Structure 1
Amino acid sequence: MSGTGTGGFTPAQVRLGEMVSWQKSAYQVVAFRGSVVVLLAPGASVPVEVLHSALVAAPDFAVLDPEGQPASRPVLPDLAVPPTKEQREQALRWHRHMKELDTGLAPDQSSPRPGYDVAITPLAQRYAVKSQELAAAGIDVKPKTLEAMRLKWKGAGENPLVLLEQRKGKVGHRTDSRLIEVMHEVVKAKSRESGVDIQSVYDDVLDVVRKRYAPQLADPDEQRRLLPSRATFYRRMDETGLSDLLAAPTRRRAQQASKPAPPYTPSHALRPGQVVQIDTTPLKVKTVGDDGEVISVELTSAIDVASRSNAAVMIVPVGTGEGRPGNRIGGRATRAFDLVLILAQCFAPLTTRPGWHPRTAAAASALPFEALRSADERFTQATAARPVIHPRTVIIDQGSPYLSDHFKYVCEMLNISIEYARKDRPTDKPLKERFFRTLGSRFSQYLPG
C-alpha cells in the first residue's frame, strides 16, 4: 500500500495496534501524540517516534495483515462526478469531526478537548458531546447518526468522501436546509408583530431567498430547491411547527424568539474551565464612589462549574445619568468592556493589595503553590489565593452587554464558546443564582450601609 494520497482526503492509513512496514522493518503502532506516531518493533523495549506525514510518505510504507503481507484497504466510493471545492471542504470538516470522535484528537491537535479524552470519556458520551457541539453551530445531527457516520467512515478507510452521500439532500424528497433556515429567520423577525399571517411570511421568505441566493438561482435546480410552491411551503410550515407558532399570541412568539439555540443541558464539568457561568447582579449595599458620593454598584463574577470557585469578580458603579428615559447621558452600569476584563482576570494571577491579610496569599492557601509557580512564573509570594482558570465555555444571559459584538469577538479570539441561558430560567445558571443569594444573606446584610 503506497503512502501517496490525494491531499486533504488521504485516508488515515495508520491505526492504533496495527503492524506497519517502515524502513525495511516491521513495527506496531502503540500510540499517537498529535501528529507523531509512536512505533515499537517486535521484541524491542524502546519505541520510535516519527511524524505521520513522513511515515506514510516512505517508499516502503505499508500496513501489514496478520500474515505480514501488505493489507488491502476497502474500496473507496466510485464518484462519477469529481467532488466540487465546496464538497471537498465539507468532507474535510466531517473528517475532523470523525477523527476527533475516533481518537479524541482532531488532525491538528496535540491534546484532547474536554469531553473527547478517550481515556476517561466513553464513545457514547463523545457522540453526545459532538451532537451538542454541532447543534450549537446550527447542525442537527443525533448521536445515533454520528455513530452510523463514523462506522461508514471507518469502513471506507477513513475516507470522508463517503459522508457526502449521507449528508446530501434529494430534491423533491427533503426541503433544502437553506430554505428552512430562512423560514425560521423570517418567523423569528415577525415574532413581536401582531396580525402576522402565513401569506406574508411566504412573500418575505421568497424575497429573502431571491436577495441572498441570487447567483445560485441562475441554476434551474437551485430554483426548485430554494423557491418552493405555495402548497409545499405550507406543508413545510406545518411540519416544522412554524404554523402553530404564527397562530400563537404575540407574547408567546416573542418568548419563543428569545430562546437561544438548543440544546438546553444542565451545567456539568469534569475539569476546571470546561464550563464557566458569568452573571451580573445589583449589590444590595451602598458604597462611596471616587467623588465621595454614595452610589449603588453592580457585581459581576465568573464561577467555575467544576471547582465551584470564583475565577473573576468585578464591582462597577451604577448611575442613571441625566435626561429623560431613553435619552440619558452620563449613566454607568456594567458594559461589554467590563465583561472583557472579567475574562482577562481568568487568564492572569491576582496580586494581593496593601492591607490584605497574609492568609489571602496563594502561598498560605490550599492551592498547590509550588507546582503553580514552577508552571507559571507569574505566581509569586504576592499572588492572591485565587485560581487561574481559563474558560472554554461560558454560560451567560441575554443582557445587552453579553450580546455585544465586542464580547463575542473577544470570546472567539480566546477560543471560548458561548451558550446563552433562556430568559426567566434561573436554572440555566444555578451556581450563579445560589452564589448571589448566599452573597446577599451571608455577606451584604452584615455590611454597614
Structure 2
Amino acid sequence: MTVRRNARPAVKVGAHVRFRGVKWQVAALSGQTVHLVGPDGGGEAVLAGYLFADPGFSVIGADVPQAAPQWGLFETAPAAAREKALAWQRHVREVECGLADGPGSGGVVRPQYDPEQHTLAEREKAKAEELTALGFGRVSRTTVQRMRLAYRKQGLWGLLDHRTTRASSPTGRADERVVDAVREALRRRRGRSKGTINGLFPLINQILKDRHGPGTVPVPSQATLYRLVTSLARPGELPTGPVRQVPASFEGRAFTPATALRPGEQVQVDTTRLDVLALFDDGRLARPELTIAVDVATRAILAAVLCPSATKAVDAALLLAEMAVPHPARPTWPDILRMDHARVLPHQRLTALDERLAGAAARPVVLPETIVVDWGKVFVSRAFTAACESLGISVQPALPHAPTAKPRASYCASLG
C-alpha cells in the first residue's frame, strides 16, 4: 500500500483493511473484486463497491487526508464560528485516528476511540454521545459522519457553520421581476429630473403591468420598494444625493467585501489629510498628509508615508519601496518590536532568504500583486504607474466617487 501525503488512501496488494470489524489483508485485485485474507488464514472475495460501502471500512495505517486550509476565507468568519470549528477539528481527528491532535502526535488513545478495537461507525456513535453530553446540542452519529467527511474535503472551512459566512444580497428575497422593474424605472429616470423616490412607485407598477399583465406580480409594500430603490440606484441617482458623473458600466449593485487568500494578493492604498497640526522644520504649523497601504488578506498595515504638504508621485513610489524592503529596527526600540521576537513570522526561514531581515523590525515585507487606488493625480501619474510596472505590480483604479471600493485603506487612513 502506498499513500500520498494529503491524498486518499489507495487499496493495493498487501494493504491491511478493516472490514466487518475484522482486520484483513488484500491478497489480490481482479477487476472489481478484492480478494481478502483473514487473520485465521481464510479467504474471501468481495466486490470493491460492497467493501468500500461498509460503515466500518478503513485502511489501517493510512494517513488521514487533510484538505488545504482555506485560511483567507476562514478568517472572515465570526470569532464564535471559528472557535466552534476548531473544537470540531479536535473531535473529528479523534474519531479518525484516535488522537485529537492528528496522526503522529503525542498522547494516549482513549479506549472508545481506539481504531484497533472499534469500527469507524462505533467511534462516530461514541463521539456523538460525548458531544451531546458536553453541550453541543443533540448530536447524532450522522452529524459526526457529515462533519468528518466535510473536514476531509474542505479542512477547517468545511467545519464552519456557513450560515454565518453567507454574503447578504442587496435585494434580499425580493421577487426578481420586481427587481428588474425597479432597475428599468431607474434607467428611464436617468438623465431627467430626479424628483422623489415615491414618484418612482407608479412607474414601477406600470412596468410590472406591461411586462407580466395586471395582477400577475404581487406589488410589494412601499417600504420594500423604498429599500430596493435605495440599494439599486447609482451614486447620485437618489433625490437626496449629489449629482455625480458615474461610468455607464456601473450596474448600481452594492459592493461586496474583497476576498484575498494570500499576503500581497490585493493591497489598498489611500491618502488623507490628518486633523492635527504639526510643527515643521521651517517653523510653520500645518496639517500633514498620510498615505497608507493595507493588505486585504492579513489586515496588516504594510507601509505609511507622512508628508508635510500634499503627497507627490515620488512619495507614493516611496510607499512601494517601504512595502518591499525590510525596515531596520532602531537601536532604542524594545525587543518586542524586532522581527526575531515575532512569533507569527517564520523569522529563521526568512533570514535564510534575505540577510537584511536579521535586524529588521517586526513588520511584513510584501511585494504586492495588485494595488487598488483611487483616481487621485498621485496614483494615476506616470511616475507611480512606471514604478508599479517595473516591480510587476498591477494597478487597479477603484470606481470614481465610491470610497467603499477600498474600505480598509480608507478606514485606516481616516483614523490616522
TM interval, shorter chain, is 0.3 to 0.5
Name the larger-Rg structure.
Answer: 2
Q: TM-score, normalised by structure 1?
A: 0.37
